[in-house]
Amino acid sequence: MKLTGKQYWRSLDQLAQSPRFLEWLHREFPAGASEWTSGSSRRQMLKLMAASFGLAGLTACRRPEERILPASSASEEMAPGVPLYYATIFTLGGVATGLLVESHDGRPTKIEGNPNHPSSLGGTSPYAQASVLSLYDPARSQRVLRNGRASSWEEFEKFAAEHFDPQRIGYGRGLRFLSESYNSPSLDAIREHILRRFPQAQWAEHDPLAQEQAAAGARLAFKDNLIPVYQFENADVVVSLDADFLGMDAPTMAAIRQFAKRRQLLEPGGAMNRLYAIESRHTMTGAAADHRLRLAPGAIRLFAETLARELGLAIPSSGAEPTLSEQARKWAAVLARDLNRNRGRALVLAGPRQPAEVHALTHWINQTLEAAGRTVVYRKPPASPPSITLAQLAGQMAAGQVETLVILGGNPAFTAPADLDFPALFGKVNHTIRLGLEEDETSAACRWHLPQAHFLESWGDGRALDGTASIQQPLIQPLFGGRTASELLALISGYKDRRGYDIVRNYWFSRWPAAQAEKIWRKALHDGVIPDTRFPEAKPSVDVTSVTTALRSAPPPAPARSDRLEAAFFPGWACWDGRFANNGWLQEAPEPMTRLTWDNAALLSPATAAELGLRDGDVVEIASSAGRAQMPVLVQPGHADHCISLSVGYGRNRCGPVGRNVGFDAYRLRSAQSPWIAGGITLRKTGARHKLALTQDHHSMEGRAIVLEAALAEWRQNPGLFQAAGHHTHESLALYKERTYETGYQWAMSIDLNACVGCGACVLACQAENNIPIVGKQQVLRGREMHWIRVDRYFEGPPEAPRAVTQPVNCMQCEDAPCENVCPVAATTHSPEGLNDMVYNRCVGTRYCSNNCPYKVRRFNFLNFHKDLSETGKMVFNPDVTVRMRGVMEKCTYCVQRIEEKRIQANREGRRAIRDGEIVTACQQACPAEAIVFGNMNDPASRVAQLRNSSRRYQLLAELNTKPRTTYLARVRNLNPELG
Amino acid sequence: MAQQVMDASAVLDAPLVMGKPSLAEVTSSVSGIVERKPPRAWYIAITVSGAFTLVLAAMLGYLVTTGVGVWGNNQPVGWAWDITNFVFWIGIGHAGTLISAILFLLRQRWRTSINRAAEAMTLFAVMCAGIYPLFHVGRPWRAYWLLPLPNADLGMWPNFKSPLLWDVFAVSTYATVSALFWYVGMIPDLATLRDRAKDKIRRFAYGLLSLGWRGSARHWRHYEMAYLLLAGLSTPLVVSVHSIVSFDFAVAVIPGWHTTIFPPYFVAGAIFSGFAMVVTLMVLARKVYRLEHLITLRHLDNMAKVMLATGMIVGYAYAVEFFTAFFSGNPFERFVFLNRATGPYAWAVWTMVFCNVVVPQIFWFQRARTSIPVLFVASILINVGMWFERFVIIVTSLHRDFLPSSWGYFRPTAVDVLTFMGSIGLFLTLFLLFVRFLPMIAMFEVKSMLASSHPHREAEK
């Protein structure tokens, strides 16, 4: 923590003027207060009082020097203990999502979505939630390395001044830049400046998960770089072709909200959308779908063509149609009819794995269905500066044409397609300079490693999918001396601005009228969005010839067989492309459909596993055209036959201690030509076994009424269906007079199973908010994970093609809680507002409460899970929540700290009532689908009271008479009677 | 000692004290054990059990400093070997109290040669049992919060609705009363040892312990009254203590636990396992210390009959539980029993059934009831079976309850196993020390059974 004297004075100076400080001064030093007015004696006094300032905690202030603007209050004044919220953005996969970050005492502790931002609408992804932990990760790069030895920014600046002289460097003839995907206008400006200064230089972008095929498909169909922005809330029928748009392929979290909005019926009379999912792996989208068809990824193209033909499009025949199953052909016909019935309200989309032709085909289909402007809006981004592909760069490196390579972010040595053999090419480049968050595989191959600033420490900007731009403001000064990509490029290229703040600010000021610029800037910082920056809407028409030519020239792949499997590549659940491997929260958060933690596995169907003689945990060697890799297999019900699903990003070996050698590297199997779907895969049993830590071992509801589910038509016929379901409900036969809860606030929660897609953002939000520890793979194997909320996932129906349902389960806060009776020391009691209070300091840890909880929501600290915390690691804790010690039980508290915070606020504002929607629990706030609603059930106008009146509402295990305050809205599927 | 096989009538008519010893001979048989140097077997045994006791101490130290996580307990199986062992040890203790108190009130004179050792075994079993509730908690240094001590700061008592708190009362009452009963009962014999003591230390120690007993008529009158009262106090404890321990489970909502049959089922099981332990220990002790004339085959025969009877009750309870679960129609209950019989812990369940239902059936045969090897092996198998019964009840009910998403599996760690073996070590160490330093047979009670004590009666029947 570097604090120069300059910073010290400046921050104190700011504070010295504030009335609060003056009041403190008069109280503590009445004699000295009078001398305060004179400038020099003030400095003298401040020098003397340095010690007490230290004690007051002011020296711990690491707020950025520049003015950052909180979203939550008009002034930047920081009162200890009162958090401020700042708007910023988090960019992943080249798309920015707006966030509101909670800052306690000058350090960010919790991330929320920004309701103003079109990518978020209030919700967040698990990655956004967990990224605050990455900020404080001590394994992050903390130093500059030169040839593997510690160096400094000063040394690099000296080197750069000499090396990046335009003449000396041949005007960029051997200069190449390789960056991860980004979407930053100010960075674009620097890039253009660089290409002017070094005209021969070239820029390459590499993102292993970039949706290049989708972009290529749009270019194919429209002869233009258009971005389809799907308007799910306008769609009555959605067909997803291998597009996990509710899960790992989600274009934005807002897509989940828009889609869920059309499913959250309270009464049977409403209209509900319908989702068909055609996919190989059982994804969250497949779980949410009303109908699901499993097809190998290569076969989905044939399905798309068949569907298009049913819709009357002239698709050339490839001769491979008979390889499509009877069921799939029937589906195509039925879906075509349904789509036709819903013209203007229908949408077909394809996922990133599908080749460009399929994407082009879906654009053509959507045009036929009159989707443009209604269920999909095409936006035209500005032309991007010229760039080359990674493959081209690799070719140049191999030919020795690259002298200087500057790598900005990403981890290309790890993520590049295996057949490029990228790590070996570094030796052919004289000067390799790498800016990275971690000292990773790429840093090991480069001469210079420079620490990158985390997004929470950075000034920057970014665009949402539809082009809406936002300023990224830091919440804390770089903890480890990192700098942003913009700052590095500015340094190298002699850009007019050097600091990130100046770069961003001056860029945007140059775009606004001078008189209003300051005002717009402040509003943009406050709101988190810059108005009027959305890309213009385009009204394109599909170039049919181009599409049919592409289809003809790219024959569909041969169908998969057990000796010639297909592999589909997916982002790694915990690490995305590998960048989050050292994030323990993500590693321990179970993958929604497999419930796997701390590992990845090759997924395959039960039938294929049986055919190949494989069981869960058997290690196989997988061979593709690009290479070989070993990995354990995991059987997934509903997976398509003769194909495997691989998750990239795992198996990193140059990584912090948390993520090192966790999982298995699937990048080794990825080729540059077909990075998303690979055919001709073979599997060979190695005989080894690998223990897989799943948080849920049992996947069937065993006929129990846990997730209540019915067809929409059934519910319409019998609205009381869900209340009557379940086992033997009866009136209460209580011995004692039952307590009624008619007065005061009575907190309750409603979880809509039709909206929940199982993304797991709630799990991470709860972990961040409540200081929940991670326990590691060994402890997860023993069954001791600590998550207060979990998302259960059940499969129902035939094992080859089951339906999946997800159900978030947190403490039900039962009115008649079985846990309360059995605690011998009364460490768990009932509050007058209906909460089951867990009193940590009274708990001796008998664990009877956990044994007696039928929902198994209680978590015990079996060991000291907070051992060996780093100095920075401690900074992520939420100071409003106790950190529990070993031997103590803990569980969901309905975020009682937030309830109390709002109560205090309401009291301060003159004893007014707490309004509905003021108190938002962490899980509720993070949920992109708005599936979780918390509020006062005694307030008839509150949302939760309305939801409790819905005929979809039911209690989990109602027959036990626990009277849970958390109730569920049953799952309803809008079935197409033609598909049965 | 030759294996004596007797037919049924011979056993019933056999004298309770063989060989018509005189009063002095009885005294010297029993006191001699304490006064002589112990046999080599004793030294070997206490070295081994002492080592295990040290292991226990080490494991408990490790547990307290590191956390409950050193065991295999997890979510959902919050209780596993810890509470299994607790109930196991408490159950074992019940035989002693039954023999001492209930058989006393029922005037079953055959109890006299085994009651002292059985009562000692109860006390040591309760001590071993008490380790577990104390140490299984997450914060054992705060375990005293379960005691109802007036606390001005807290302003509240512990939660009396909780069965764990009832356990505190039940077990501490049991320990206190058993200790008193055992000690008071020993006073006349301690006085005998004091009177026979040759060296100063023994005379002082036994003198202190015998509280100035003179053996006068007045002393005897007080003694008889005290003993009777304590017997009366202990008798309900036989039923109540294990009933309360069973409430730990019966009061919970978990299927497999939530059943009213538990109190009588547990009490019967306790007596069953307790008698089995008494038989195991007595078979060994009578051989090593040549007490076959005092602890006769008739005694063993009677104990075997008790084991058969209680084993049948336990077997009946298994059947009734199973039937009730299916008859109830409650799918959760039905599943628990199906899971027990066919699920991942089926091996434990069938071991339990074999040891507790099948093995005691051998005691229908009088030859088996009076055969030392059969008694020894069967009693050990019964205790194994009873341990598994508690394990099955606790772990199989917890590992798969209402929500299948929470279903899990429990596997013990080395620390679990070593802690349990350590507690057996502690138990045996205490018992060996008891045998070494205290009169293991109630001499004066046995003497009151001899024909010479009752010239006008056929007292030996």
Long-range contacts formed by B19-22: CB under 8 A, 24+ apart: B19/B293, B20/B450, B20/B451, B21/B293, B21/B450, B22/B450, B22/B452
Identify the helix (H) or strand (E) that includes residue A104: strand A95-104
Taking CB atoms and an 8 Å limit, are A821 and B161 in contact across chains?
A: yes
3-state secondary structure (DSSP) of residue A107: strand
Q: Which residue has the higher pLDDT, B282 or B456?
A: B282
- A905-924 pLDDT per residue, tens: 999 999 889 999 999 999 99
Integer CA distances (angstroms), A409 to A205, A436, A443, in order:
10, 5, 10
Taking CB atoms and an 8 Å limit, are A847 and B161 in contact across chains?
A: no
- B71-95 pLDDT per residue, tens: 999 999 999 999 999 999 999 999 8
Average pLDDT over residues A871-892: 94
Residues 6+ apart with CB under 8 A from A17: none
Average pLDDT over residues A228-241: 96
Rounded distance, CA B414 to CA B416, Å? 5
pLDDT at A52: 44
pLDDT at A24: 55
Q: Is A43 exposed, middle or buried (0-12, 13-18, 19+ CB in 10 A)?
A: middle
Question: Which band of pLDDT confidence, cut at 50, 70 and 90, is reported for residue B459?
Answer: very low
- Cβ atoms of B444 and B189 closer than 8 Å: yes
Taking CB atoms and an 8 Å limit, are B404 and A702 in contact across chains?
A: yes
Taking CB atoms and an 8 Å limit, are A864 and B406 in contact across chains?
A: no
DSSP strand pairing (A144-146 vs A596-597): unpaired
Least confident span in A226-230, A268-272, B241-245? A268-272
Question: Is B143 an 8 Å CB contact of chain A?
Answer: yes
Residues 6+ apart with CB under 8 A from A158: none
Percent of chain A with pLDDT over 70: 92
Question: Is the pLDDT reported for residue A240 higher than 80?
Answer: yes
Taking CB atoms and an 8 Å limit, are A790 and B254 in contact across chains?
A: no
Question: Which band of pLDDT confidence, cut at 50, 70 and 90, is reported for residue B5?
Answer: low
Question: Is B342 an 8 Å CB contact of chain A?
Answer: no
Question: Which band of pLDDT confidence, cut at 50, 70 and 90, is reported for residue A319?
Answer: confident
From chain B, the residues in CB contact with A779 under 8 A are 69
Q: Which of residues 246-285 of B touch A (CB under 8 A)?
A: 248, 251-254
Name the residue ranges covered by the structural domains of chain B.
Answer: 2-453
The mean pLDDT of chain A is 90
Q: Which of residues 400-429 of B touch A (CB under 8 A)?
A: 400-409, 411
Q: Tokens 């002492």, residue? A: B50
Q: How many CB pairs under 8 A join A and B?
A: 173
pLDDT at A379: 96
Average pLDDT over residues B113-138: 94
Taking CB atoms and an 8 Å limit, are B254 and A824 in contact across chains?
A: no
Q: Which of residues 14-53 of B touch A (CB under 8 A)?
A: none
Average pLDDT over residues A96-106: 93
Least confident span in A81-85, A593-597, A755-759, A954-958? A81-85
What token pair was written down for A62?
């690491």
pLDDT at A739: 83
Least confident span in A71-80, A125-134, A138-147, A658-667? A71-80
Question: Which band of pLDDT confidence, cut at 50, 70 and 90, is reported for residue A154?
Answer: very high
- Cβ atoms of B263 and B163 closer than 8 Å: no
- β-pair partners for A747: A936
Question: Which band of pLDDT confidence, cut at 50, 70 and 90, is reported for residue B179?
Answer: very high
Dihedral through CA B232, CA B235, CA B240, CA B243, nearest 10?
-170
ipTM of the complex: 0.93
Q: Which residue has the higher pLDDT, A64 or A27?
A: A64
Question: Is B72 an 8 Å CB contact of chain A?
Answer: yes
pLDDT at A12: 45
Rounded distance, CA A908 to CA A900, Å? 12
Taking CB atoms and an 8 Å limit, are B248 and A848 in contact across chains?
A: yes
pLDDT at B1: 42
CB nearest to B159's CB, from A784, A825, A889: A825
- B323-344 pLDDT per residue, tens: 999 999 999 999 999 999 999 9
Question: Which band of pLDDT confidence, cut at 50, 70 and 90, is reported for residue A385?
Answer: confident
Question: Which band of pLDDT confidence, cut at 50, 70 and 90, is reported for residue A230?
Answer: very high
Q: Tokens 């006791």, residue? A: B53
Rounded distance, CA A934 to CA A858, Å? 20
pLDDT at B156: 86
**What CATH number is given for B2-453 in this structure?**
1.20.1630.10
Question: Is the pLDDT reported for residue B108 higher than 90?
Answer: no
Average pLDDT over residues A607-615: 95
- A827-855 pLDDT per residue, tens: 999 999 999 999 999 999 999 999 999 99
- Tell me the shortest Cα–Cα distance from A612 to chain B, in angstroms: 26
Question: Is the pLDDT reported for residue A23 higher than 80?
Answer: no
Percent of chain A with pLDDT over 90: 81
Question: Which band of pLDDT confidence, cut at 50, 70 and 90, is reported for residue A21?
Answer: low
Identify the helix (H) or strand (E) that includes residue A549: helix A544-553
Question: Which band of pLDDT confidence, cut at 50, 70 and 90, is reported for residue B151?
Answer: confident
Q: What is the pTM of this model?
A: 0.91
Q: Which residue has the higher pLDDT, A19 or A616?
A: A616
3-state secondary structure (DSSP) of residue A228: strand
The mean pLDDT of chain B is 92
From chain A, the residues in CB contact with B68 under 8 A are 845, 847, 860, 862-863, 887
Residues 6+ apart with CB under 8 A from B76: A783, A850, A851, A856, B398, B399, B401, B406, B407, B408
Taking CB atoms and an 8 Å limit, are A782 and B72 in contact across chains?
A: yes
CB nearest to A863's CB, from B67, B140, B161: B67
Taking CB atoms and an 8 Å limit, are B405 and A790 in contact across chains?
A: yes
Taking CB atoms and an 8 Å limit, are B145 and A844 in contact across chains?
A: yes
Percent of chain B with pLDDT over 70: 96
Candidates B68, B77, B396, B405: best to mutate against A (most CBs of A within 10 A) is: B405
Least confident span in A598-612, A738-752, B101-115, B135-149? B101-115
Where do the domains of chain A lie, and which CATH numbers do they carry?
2-28+697-727+745-971 (3.30.70.20), 144-210+384-527 (3.40.50.740), 227-379 (3.40.228.10), 560-694 (2.40.40.20)
What token pair was written down for A359?
């994407």
Residue (of A553, A570, A760, A722) closest to A648 by Cα position: A570
Residues 6+ apart with CB under 8 A from A523: none
- A31-76 pLDDT per residue, tens: 444 444 444 555 555 554 443 443 333 334 566 777 777 776 555 5
Question: Which band of pLDDT confidence, cut at 50, 70 and 90, is reported for residue A17?
Answer: low
- B249-299 pLDDT per residue, tens: 999 999 999 999 999 999 999 999 999 999 999 999 999 988 888 889 999
- β-pair partners for A684: A621
pLDDT at A915: 93
3-state secondary structure (DSSP) of residue B206: helix
pLDDT at A27: 52
Average pLDDT over residues B112-136: 94
Number of neighbours of residue A224 by Cβ within 10 angstroms: 12
pLDDT at A426: 95
Backbone angles phi, psi at B259, to 5 degrees: -150, 140
Q: How many residues does chain B have?
A: 461
Candidates B253, B258, B401, B413: best to mutate against A (most CBs of A within 10 A) is: B253
Taking CB atoms and an 8 Å limit, are B145 and A825 in contact across chains?
A: yes
Rounded distance, CA B211 to CA A133, Å? 69
Rounded distance, CA A935 to CA A952, Å? 18
CB nearest to B162's CB, from A782, A823, A843: A823
From chain B, the residues in CB contact with A885 under 8 A are 139
Q: How far is CA A723 from the centre of its chain?
A: 35
Percent of chain B with pLDDT over 90: 79
Taking CB atoms and an 8 Å limit, are A845 and B145 in contact across chains?
A: no
Question: Is the pLDDT reported for residue A414 higher than 70?
Answer: yes
